[in-house]
Structure 1
Amino acid sequence: MNTGNSVRIDEQVVLVTGGARGLGREIVRAFGREGALVVVNYRRSAEAAADLVRELGADRAVAVRADVTDDDEVRSLVEAARTHFGRPITTVINNALADFEFNGDARPSPETLTWADMEGQLRGAVKATLATTQATLPGMREGGFGRIVNIGTNLFQHPVVPYHDYTAAKAAALSLTRTLAADLGPDGITVNMVSGGLLRTTDASASTPEEVFDLIASGTPLRRAIEPAELADAVLFFASPWARAVTGQNLIVDGGLVKG
């Protein structure tokens, strides 16, 4: 199966954290469309996860509950996925978002920001990525192949709204992406990030005023906000054979708002 560290998407077992709703749901659908076996991770959205499994087919997808900031729950998730599909997870999409709402009026200001705010986002963006990486590494090394794709943000390049806690955590996740890429490359494992702008529309962006979407869209060459399915397609690239020589990179998918 593994030729030149290249495995077709339809031969991969893909874990999508936070996969039941929003961007995660579109990432699950994208991999399902390409024939992958998909593990739909969820924390509270059991019904949405079950609906998604029915949509893809029980032979191609399985829903597994886990809080991905909890090491023990992540290890149990990985074991359950291997038992269900009879082979280890090859590909991890770290998409789960700690409880957050893109509402500039409600965001913590520099005067009200607390370390608890920061810590919550760091747990979701960094601790969870470390947990899923450590839990899936044995299986990836066993097959000599692995793909890890972390979901980031363009806000640390262009803080159109200064969400301090969320943005700092995603910046830390990019650093972890690059250091993991350096360490895991010899094992045939690539680690990359896909950074979106404000997506139209997910649960997290549902409270964003329409004028903010319009402002962002007006600054892009495409003159529109990006949809979750469009970012999901970019995630597929990093998992595909076409990206076999790409690691430690951050691909910005925001309609051209941020350059580089």
Structure 2
Amino acid sequence: MTLRIVVCVKYVPVATGDRRFADDKTTDRESVDGLLSELDEYAVEQALRIAEASGDAAVTALTVAPDDAQDALRKALSMGVDQAVHVNDDDIHGTDAIGTSLILAKAIEQTGFDLVVCGMASTDGTMGVLPALLAERLGVPQATLLSEIAIEGDTVTGRRDGDAATEQLRAVLPAVVSVTDRSGEPRYPTFKGIMAAKKKKMRSLDLDDLGLDAAEVGLSGAWTKVEAVATRPPRTVGTIVKDEGEGGRQLATFLAEQKFV
């Protein structure tokens, strides 16, 4: 029986771009370039490794995002993912993590799944709560923050590395897992993979397809919101200490005045 793997990916603003909020206090995604979240590349890599080890598996990349997010899906397809699903609807704008988990769960239920693989967090929101929310929505066990992952029969196993201990986790499929950036370096898309990605299926869904009402998601349905934003003040000119024999004393005095020591 074919193992059905769904890997959740996110289209995020580039880290080096001038990221800011739009007038409605949501992330301004139009004035900055975007890409597949680097942490989600690790999820794609682990999904592909599991599929390769299985010998009979299908990997689907899934995202919830505007039109430009197709670039993130194409990156996943060029890495080796079999097909992609893009949930895109104007009413999704402003959806928070809780709403996103609802949309993803509905889409995953439509595609069918045995294993859902997520990154440890997105590189823009960095919340890291979505895998747990998704597992709750789907009614399946979760094994999060794994640095190693494998499938053994109808069970997913993995290792979670903490500051003081290492845990071995096990969950019966179907399940949701998330992997860290220590799980294995993502592969680079080959020229053959890039060309093959152009022929792979990319399915598009909207809220009607998922049986969701616009009021359940978007800004109106968000459980969290940004109340106020302020532009970061420009950097001030630093204090230059000239060492003419008293540099150490001047530096110590400065640090004490600033209450750094």
TM-score calculated relative to the size of structure 1: 0.38
Please say which structure displays the higher CA radius of gyration.
Answer: 2
Point out the structure with the larger helix share: 1
Point out the structure with the larger strand share: 2
